Amino acid sequence: MTENAVRDRPAYPQTVETALEDAERIEWITLFWLAVIVAVMGWAMGGSQAFKTAWIEDVLSLLAPASFLVARRFEKKPPSEGFPYGYHRAASLAFFFSSAALFVIGAWLLYDGAMSLMKAEHPTIGSRVYFGTQIWSGWIMIGALIFSVIPPVILGRRKLGIAKKLHDKVLYVDAQTNSADWQTGLASIAGIVGIGFGFRWADAAMAVLISLSIIKDGYGALKKATISLLDGMPRALDSHAISEDARLLKSRLESHFPGTNVQIRETGRFFRASVEPEGKRVLPPGLRREYLSEDDWRLIEVTTALRDVADRKKPDQS
Amino acid sequence: MMSRSLFTSARMGFSLLCLCVLFGCELPKDQRGTTERIELESEIHAGYSAQAEELAAERAWLAALGERKDARIEEMPGEAHELVEALRRGEIDLIMGMPAKSPFATEVGLSRPYPNPQERAQKRAWAVRPGENAWLYEVDRLLMQETPR
């Protein structure tokens, strides 16, 4: 606590601090395994659209852990003159970019898959020779896919618990994507087996299916990121519904300050609440002009913060 | 995160694969039955570019393929793009001794490349109709053999 007072910055409880360290470590491990998977699958790559789509999804799933780690770098920086609030929302911004990428590339893959489905392309998969033995490349691709789902599913499960402890959306979405990776792998295997059995459409159909799941993930994440960047009421981790904690906080503050309007928003992992007199949500012109002589309409709020029990007067009394 | 019914079908496909591995059925299969047709008609239509300078190794491989499939070989020389069109329509079963890197590579099913006896830098490959994966497997197996001279 004293250290916190010295730094004069919000501090995390020890459990959260530990969870953050765990999260950073596990995201580095995720990056490592994903890089291995991308390399192995790139090596096994053959003429399957579904396989290509699954591979691109694995490349894309590098974005979330990378943006988590980059955002952590920024979050740790102290506030400065240019950024007096600090960098709490670095994660939201990184999240926005990675989900936008997911959405756009998902849409492109959907187009690609739909085109090859419509053009009735006949996916061709050849064979490879290892130590004088001929192996159909489809088997190698299936092997690579089976390998590719194991690390993400294990890591995803572990990250899910940490994300809940941290109320971290980036980590949560990343964990969910990882734990659902087996579905992509399975769909892709089905596509290749389809080629094996001589069904030309199976591969493109599975590619379309995987691209739809990428779009769905991207859209959901984009929505979450947009809500938090637009100062939306804090949302639950696993849905777009307003978070129970925020609801409770609002009703408690409202009962403590009757006749007020309580607004809550989320900056990074932190909640910020402001209590304003009902019906007087903007600064009156007289007061505005006192502080800002030109374009005074731009000033709508001056906040004095609650720091002590004694500060808890009703805002309209001040 | 995808819809459940679609995943059920994916899972069924996976079970089918497991069954397949257990009972040793042969994958891959052709999408348009080239192998079956050859076995039925005992005839292989082999295209080759009329400009190709030397195809001795390819002819020896072809003869071996005919022997294995118990099929008569019908050679069909032609212009490269005409051959590719004929292959895509299924009028011929393969093109032998194509350059491995050619603008047509994406329009056909290409075998593993092998060194060209004349110019080692420029590799050659055989082409099959797209999606004829069993037939391609057969051709690849043929080209694994030491170049018969």
Reading the block at residue B69, the tokens are 């499939």
The pLDDT, as a whole number, for residue A315 is 61
Give this complex's ipTM: 0.84
Higher pLDDT among residues A50 and B7, named by residue: A50
**Options 3.40.50.150, 1.20.120.80, 3.40.190.10, 3.40.1390.20; which CATH number does B34-144 get?**
3.40.190.10
The encoded tokens of residue A72 equal 């952590």
Q: Is A138 on the interface with B (CB under 8 A)?
A: yes
Q: Note the pLDDT tens digit of each residue in A3-21.
A: 444 456 788 899 999 999 9
- Nearest CB to A190: which of B14, B108, B137? B14
Residue A47's pLDDT band, with cuts at 50, 70 and 90, is confident
> Would you give the distance in Å from CA A227 to the centre of its chain?
12
- Determine the distance in angstroms separating the CA of A245 from the nearest CA of chain B, rounded to an integer: 26
Residue B24 confidence (pLDDT): 61
| Tokens 């399975």, located at residue | A186
Nearest to A215 by CA among A113, A109, A116, A117: A109
| A141 touches B at CB < 8 Å | no
**Model confidence at B117, in pLDDT bands (50, 70, 90)?**
confident
Percent of chain B topping pLDDT 70:
82
% of residues, chain A, pLDDT over 90: 68
Q: Average pLDDT, stretch A26-40?
A: 97
Say what percent of chain A tops pLDDT 70: 96
Give the pLDDT confidence of A134-170 residue by residue, as tens digits.
999 999 999 999 999 999 999 999 999 999 999 998 8
B29 with A183: Cβ contact below 8 A: no
- Whether pTM > 0.95 for this model: the answer is no
Tell me which residue in B11, B20, B32 faces A186 most closely, judged by beta carbons.
Answer: B11
Which residue ranges make up each domain of chain B?
34-144
Is A34 within 8 Å of A159 (Cβ atoms)? no
Smallest Cα distance from A223 to chain B, Å: 16
Q: What is residue A301's predicted lDDT score, i.e. its pLDDT?
A: 87
Average pLDDT over residues A54-75: 93
- For β-strands B43-49 and B109-110, DSSP reports them as unpaired
Of A132, A134, A186, which has the smallest distance from its Cβ to B10's Cβ? A186
Confidence of residue B1 (pLDDT cuts 50, 70, 90): very low
Using pLDDT thresholds of 50, 70 and 90, give the confidence band for residue A318: very low
Indicate the residue of A134, A187, A196 with minimum beta-carbon distance to B144.
A134
Q: Across the interface, do B130 and A202 touch by the CB < 8 Å criterion? A: no
Contact B130 A134 (CB under 8 A): no
- Predicted local confidence at residue B22, as pLDDT: 60
Contact check, Cβ <8 Å, B14/A129? no
**How many CB pairs below 8 Å do chains A and B form together?**
117
Backbone φ and ψ of B82, nearest 5°: -65, -40
The distance of A117 to chain B (nearest Cα, Å) reads 14
Among candidate residues A190, A183, A193, the one with its CA nearest the CA of residue A214: A183
Class of domain A2-229: mainly alpha
In this predicted structure, the answer to whether residue A304 has a pLDDT above a threshold of 50 is: yes
CB-based contacts of A20-23 (< 8 A; 24+ apart in sequence): A20/A72, A20/A166, A22/A162, A23/A68, A23/A159, A23/A162, A23/A163, A23/A166, A23/A168, A23/A171
Closest CB from A142, A197, A206 relative to B29: A197
Count how many Cα atoms sit within 13 Å of the Cα of residue A311 in the half-sphere of its side chain: 7
State pLDDT tens for residues B78-112. Answer: 999 999 999 999 999 999 988 888 888 889 999 99
Where does chain A hold its CATH 1.20.1510.10 domain(s)? 2-229
* Token digits of residue A82: 């240019």
A127 and chain B in contact, CB less than 8 A: yes
**Residue of B5, B133, B140, B145 best to disrupt the A interface, most CBs of A under 10 A:** B133
pLDDT for B146:
75
